[in-house]
Amino acid sequence: MYNPVLLDMASTLQNYKERFILNFISDDRWKYLVNGFFTTIKIAFFAVIIGIVLGFFVSIVRSTYEMNRNDRSKGKVYKVIMGILNFICRAYLSIIRGTPVVVQLLIIYFVIFQSVSIDKVLVAVIAFGVNSGAYVAEIFRSGIMSIDKGQFEAGRSLGFNYFETMVYIIMPQAFKNVLPALGNELITLLKETSVSGYIALEDLTKGGDIIRSRTYDPFMPLIAVAIIYWVVVVIMTFLVGKLERRLRNSDH
């Protein structure tokens, strides 16, 4: 009388329910995910701020250097200072983009902050912020370079100095052009923080992994972790898209 398929399904469901309880309910294991989630968000949020500020300044130094390289109206001192700044920025870009972020994280934690006791979250924020800054800098620079030279000349001919022209004329246009790339970088950054576990930081990924090691059941916790990342990325994509559309509306 009993349908064997239905019976099988019922026992499978029962099985999943038990695994769900084991992985998330027992011993309040869900807290690993929730706490990990907030740690991940905290790291990503502050790293993004550092990344954008750092990227902004590096991109301005780089593009200023490139644009004014042949400008004879500038004095020697100015040129030497700009040359040094540009060299520092290039070295920064080369090192950060030339090495894996995990290695950078490990070096910052185990080498640079070796002898100081410091909050691991702060270490991660610094590591991911400095890392992201390099990518953001190149995104901003490509945005600045994409603006027609005439815009720059129009600003200067009205009497704006270099910096004012950058701030009022170039940057607003450049920012709009690079918003998709910038949004992409933010999403990448969020996902990159998943390697924080390398310095024993309990972020979302590590939280899921801890549950796995307690319950010996990889499926439930890891799929849950993946779903949470995915949902956050979908929300971020939506918000960036919304901002993009709003900026587009302002200039038809």
Partner 1 sequence: MTTDNNVLIDVKDLEMQFGNHKAVDGISTQIKKGEVVVVIGPSGSGKSTFLRCLNFLEYPTGGHIFYKGIDLINTKVDINKYRQKMGMVFQHFNLFPHMTILKNMIIAPMKLQGKNEKEATELAMSLLEKVGLKDRANSYPSQLSGGQKQRIAIVRALCMKPEVMLFDEPTSALDPEMVGEVLEVMKELVNDNMTMIVVTHEMGFAKEVASRILFIDQGKILEEGTPDEIFNHPKSERLKTFIKKVL
Residues of the shown chain interacting with partner 1 in the complex, contacts defined by CB under 8 A: 71-73, 148, 150-151, 153-161, 164, 168-169, 172-173, 176, 250-252
CB of 8 or CB of 164, closer to partner 1 = 164
For residues 116 and 134, what is the distance between their CA atoms, to the nearest angstrom?
26
DSSP 8-state secondary structure symbol assigned to residue 193: G
Toward partner 1, which CB reaches closer, 3 or 250? 250
Tokens of 125: 């924020």
**Other residues' Cβ atoms within 10 Å of the Cβ of residue 23:** 25
**In terms of CB distance, is 172 or 218 closer to partner 1?**
172
* Nearer to partner 1 among residue 72 and residue 111 (C-beta): 72
What is the C-alpha separation between 207 and 132, in angstroms, rounded? 24
> Could you give the angle at the alpha carbon of 55 between the alpha carbons of 108 and 165, nearest 5°?
155
For partner 1, the closer of residues 72 and 245 by Cβ is 72
Shortest distance in whole angstroms from residue 162 CB to partner 1: 9
Contact 221, 128 (CB under 8 A): no
Compare residues 46 and 162 and give the one whose CB is closer to partner 1. 162
DSSP summary character for residue 104 = H
* Contacts of the segment 98-105: beta carbons below 8 A, 24+ positions apart: 101/127, 101/128, 101/131, 101/192, 101/195, 102/195, 102/198, 104/130, 104/131, 105/195, 105/196, 105/198, 105/199
Structure tokens at 158: 């009205």
**Nearest distance, CB of residue 154 and partner 1, angstroms:** 4
Give least dist CB 151 to partner 1, A.
6
CA 49, 55, 56, 61: dihedral to nearest 10 degrees?
150
At its nearest, how many Å lie between partner 1 and the CB of residue 79? 13
**Of how many residues is the chain composed?**
252
Nearest approach, Cβ of 74 to partner 1 (angstroms)?
9
Min dist. Cβ of residue 163 to partner 1 (A): 11
